[in-house]
Amino acid sequence: MTVAKFSHVSEKQYAAAMEGKEGFLLVGEIPLPKRATAGSAGYDFVSPLEVTVPGGGAALIPTGIRAEMDPGWVLLLFPRSSLGFRHGIRLSNTAGVIDSDYAFAENEGHIMVKLRNPLPEPVTIGKGERFCQGIFLPYGTAEEEEIPGERRGGFGSTGK
């Protein structure tokens, strides 16, 4: 069952997210997320640049990717298990939640992943290395008297 489509954000959006960074892939060079095997649930995201997550610190990776999905679906992001098992790396917010309307936000739905390193040793993620995975899941809703308005902002905009 196909419920979503990955694509790249615009060059303008990507350039704004990469301001001050060096040695990154051009947005069109970033591979779209894909599954490793026919039985894989997770779509692997690759890092478009080399990133070092300092010991006890965090680092943000702009993926250059957006996901359009059918209503009633959500994309959940998790670190790849090898990063978690070997290095303790986790997402800063535990699991990334990409809502079905996020693709149409002012930031074009640019998926940004913030990693946290709880250990004292720094961990480097190489340019082109698979570092997180996304899984599409259906979700239900509760009875609501009032349906909220449409999304406008990007990352973190629903917390208003």
Of the candidate CATH numbers 2.70.40.10, 2.40.30.20, 3.30.310.50, 3.40.50.300, the domain formed by 4-139 belongs to: 2.70.40.10
Question: Is 31 exposed, middle or buried, given 0-12, 13-18 or 19+ CB atoms closer than 10 A?
Answer: middle
List, for residues 69-78, the tens digit of each pLDDT value: 999 999 999 9
Per-residue pLDDT tens for 27-75?
Answer: 999 999 999 999 999 999 999 999 999 999 999 999 999 999 999 999 9
Q: For tokens 């959940």, what's the residue?
A: 76
d(C-alpha 65, C-alpha 13), whole Å: 10
Domain parsing of the chain, residue ranges? 4-139
- pLDDT tens column, 120-150: 999 999 999 999 999 999 999 888 767 766 6
